[in-house]
Structure 1
Amino acid sequence: MTTSSTGPNVTGGTASATEAVPPASASLSRRGVLGLALGAGAAGLALGAGAGATAGVAVGRAREQDAAASVYDFFGAHQAGITTPVQDHLHFAAFDMMARTDRDDLVTLLQDWSYAAARMTQGLDVSATGAVGGSPEAPPDDTGEALGLAASGLTITFGFGPTLFENDGEDRYGLAAMRPAQLEKLPAFLGDDLDPAHSGGDLCIQACADDPQVAVHAIRNLSRIAFGRARLRWSQLGFGRTSRTTAAQSTPRNLFGFKDGTANVLATDQAALDDHVWVAASDEPAWMAGGSYLVARKIAMLIETWDRVRLSEQEAIIGRTKGAGAPLSGGDEFTEPDFHATGADGEPAIPVTSHMRLAHPELNDGNRILRRGYNFVDGNNELGRLDAGLFFLSYQRSPEQFVTLQRALSTDTMNEYIRHVGSGLWAIPSGAAPGSYVGAALFA
């Protein structure tokens, strides 16, 4: 990534190429309103048509169109990284605020993170002095492993967990009255085997990019900036997206070998986004308008067991063909499933306990969520088996949408081959306005 010493645009409008970069500073701390105005014309970057997104939501560039050159604006009505075309790599991190921190520490942390994220998403170092421009006698502002790398479609999305508002009855930051009523620890589900060390967190950051080093660089530097105010609780690397958010993206496959995300909510379906993903102005609390709720679930897949299951049984468990991804009732991948169709034996063509049938909106009162999951492989376990699976991410207007769907999957025959080992829920505030920072409405 590159550095710049250009001064800030403080008008709050769209920044020009010479005005787009935040000011040089020996310290990242910003108290009060930030002079942030990074726009789609950041210095030194040539943006292709459609690279930035109206209102900060990138919907037009598919991975096949030179992913390395993709640049998405940090600022906008919604945070990027939700409807943005799903990138190839993920670094997700959950943080806890440090003991004895106060409200001012939390606000300045969000300001500092916003400042750094606004730069990194444009392919820049976290500050103007960056990795090599500061004093040789002081640690550099940026760790430097992304020097020379493009933005690679980097998006950075921030969220607030239930414990940020109240933790063990303590209102640490004066936010308890502002907590959304639905923002609470998810209920227990059948088959949960959750590890507390890989669940929850006061804050979360989702960094997605088409270059894994760019995503890791983002989390590494944001963790560094948080020093003394927040500590990393747990994190997860992901590869090989398991969903799509644009029609231009092909449907990917999960580690069971099946296409995943065929019926996902797409960025171009504004009506579905308004109904199922974005918190409305009429919803409570008002500060969440334009935001969403993120559920993260680390799902271990019993790969070796699954690999010994015959093909016909695998397809019956999923409800789709393994090759084309078509519903077992017939047609192609995008044919609407016919849940009334029967096979030669008179039984339903799509088994009643298949994953696709149980999760389908037609049988769940139209309930839909936007998925952005990733495959993961964390080496092997003590038995010599792959420690692998799906890092499930979903965005929804209300956490109840996920709870309802997960309960509907209680009879899913796929449950024999998976274990839910990590979990978390976060409120995702709306996007930051130029001159402000993510989550500002919460502190207004």
Structure 2
Amino acid sequence: MTDTNGARVSRRRLFGLAGAGAALAGAGAVAGVAADRALAAPTQAAPAAPAPVPFRGEHQAGITTPAQDRMHFVAFDITTDRREDVIALLRKWTAAAERMTQGREAEENGAVGGAAEAPPADTGEALDLSAAGLTLTIGFGPGLFDGRFGLADRRPPALADLPKFPKDALDPARSGGDLCVQACANDPQVAVHAVRNLARIGFGTVAVRWSQLGFGRTSSTSRSQVTPRNMFGFKDGTNNLKAEDTDALREHVWVRRGDGPDWMAGGSYLVARRIRMHIETWDRETLAGQEAIIGRKKGNGAPLGQVEEFDQVDLHVRGAGGEALIKDDAHIRLASAEALGGVRILRRGYNFTDGSDGLGHLDAGLFFVCFNRDPRTQFVPMQQALSSKDSMMEYVQHNGSALFACPPGVRDGGYWGETLFS
């Protein structure tokens, strides 16, 4: 049974409601006592919201920032051929993005303070909400360098089209894009509000090509965070690079001067892959089989043959009978730096569930996002090894893919992409 708010009513509460009429006579006195006690009790202030993440700096926020709980990722196609239109949009986006990452409207008094006869300059769904750790990160796709805007000679060699990997089933409607914006926040409405308003500001200059919502992070980017779990139920990204690993970030994530065009120095390359997980098939696999495929224990995430999650992985460890505990086709082996000649990437992915496929199967999985200094020598060899040898490939399918060059951070008085267009 439910009450008028749709909440379930217990049998105990049902009997209480039945006797409510008889109790009304004493209700006033009881309420008075309760009110007196409430007034006498000390007021407990609500916890203060965390400080907003700085928008400007050497590097863009949203890369090494401790991964937030929610994400809204969007890829845009540019619909104009005018270079000045793109620059003007990037200036407007920068101003709006900086405001929104501070917990403010996309434009001053944009939601309700403008003329009543005109559409609001801010859509308003984030009014009264904090910044919720919002970060906005922009990236430039290969299409931006196709000659329309005089940038063909400024395309970084590392922004080379990704090859087709074995077992890819890429959907063009979920791939590519001239620009991307990654919005991450600890409140999904804050992230959606940010993307919605950037898309609104861009009307006439850009159009949404595809987007993806993520409801739970699948990696930790700081030692202060616990390792989350993916849709297969395993801890994901235990060995991920962390914000505290400054030397490793310099080696594997941040583009250096001399790596390519100077405008990318301090930036990074973002690879996005939409990976559908065949949940129902995986759920029929035995626990031992699942652990063998991953190479870790499902409970605490320890590498097979070890005790705790962060114990050093030993790819050569053997069982009591002499058999290798981490198989040649185990995911943990193929993705390891040891097996890849020292290659590492910074992962920043999210779980997703987009309903069902019409056959009663969940359209769910991992929206994989990673940042690396050069995809040609980092992501590409890693994915080639995984897609051709990983036993997990039986349970997943890559159906979306994109690559973007994320410029360095915005300096004071500057705008997104200024180093490219100046």
The aligned counterpart of 1:357 is 333
Q: Which letter maps to 1:95?
A: F
Distance 2:315 2:50 in 1: 43
Residue 133 (structure 1) aligned with residue 113 (structure 2): yes
1:18-37 correspondence runs (5 A): none
TM-score by length of 2: 0.87
Distance 2:336 2:215 in 1: 25
1:246-265 correspondence runs (5 A): 246-265=222-241
1:179-190 correspondence runs (5 A): 179-190=155-166
- Over the matched positions of the two proteins, sequence identity in percent amounts to 60
The aligned counterpart of 2:129 is 149
The aligned counterpart of 1:431 is 409
Among 384, 396, 405, the residue aligned to 1:407: 384
- What are the Cα deviations for residues 140-191 of structure 1, in whole angstroms up to 9, with x where unaligned? 110000000000000000000001101xxxx100000000012122100011
1:273-292 correspondence runs (5 A): 273-292=249-268
Among 189, 192, 200, the residue aligned to 1:216: 192
Distance 1:350 1:228 in 2: 53
Structure 1: runs of 5+ lacking an equivalent:
1-65
Distance 1:142 1:330 in 2: 53
- What are the Cα deviations for residues 23-59 of structure 1, in whole angstroms up to 9, with x where unaligned? xxxxxxxxxxxxxxxxxxxxxxxxxxxxxxxxxxxxx
Structure 1 SS opposite 2:338: helix
Structure 2: runs of 5+ lacking an equivalent:
1-46
Q: Which letter maps to 1:443?
A: F
The aligned counterpart of 1:89 is 70
Among 48, 53, 57, the residue aligned to 1:76: 57
TM-score by length of 1: 0.83
The aligned counterpart of 1:118 is 98
Distance 1:319 1:274 in 2: 29
The aligned counterpart of 2:209 is 233
The aligned counterpart of 2:394 is 416
Q: Which letter maps to 1:106?
A: V
Deviation at 1:73, TM superposition (A): 1.2
Q: Which letter maps to 2:321?
A: D
Question: How many residues are aligned here?
Answer: 374
Deviation at 1:67, TM superposition (A): 9.6
Runs of 4+ aligned structure 1 residues displaced above 3 Å come to none
Distance 1:215 1:233 in 2: 18
1:369-388 correspondence runs (5 A): 369-388=345-364
In terms of fraction of residues, the more helix-rich structure is 2
The aligned counterpart of 2:271 is 295
Distance 2:107 2:352 in 1: 31
Q: Which stretch of structure 1 is more off in the superposition, 322-331 or 295-304?
A: 322-331
> What is the CA RMSD across the aligned residues, in angstroms?
1.0
- What are the Cα deviations for residues 318-366 of structure 1, in whole angstroms up to 9, with x where unaligned? 0000001000021210011111111123221111110001100011111
Distance 2:140 2:401 in 1: 14
The aligned counterpart of 2:39 is none
The question of whether the paired residues in 2 share the 8 Å contact of 1:242 and 1:253 is answered with yes
Q: Which protein is bigger by CA-based radius of gyration?
A: 2
Residue 314 (structure 1) aligned with residue 294 (structure 2): no
Distance 2:269 2:311 in 1: 30
Residue 107 (structure 1) aligned with residue 83 (structure 2): no
The aligned counterpart of 1:12 is none
- What are the Cα deviations for residues 75-114 of structure 1, in whole angstroms up to 9, with x where unaligned? 111000000000000000000000x431001101111110
Deviation at 1:434, TM superposition (A): 1.4
The question of whether the paired residues in 2 share the 8 Å contact of 1:146 and 1:214 is answered with yes
Q: Which letter maps to 1:407?
A: Q
Structure 2 SS opposite 1:295: strand
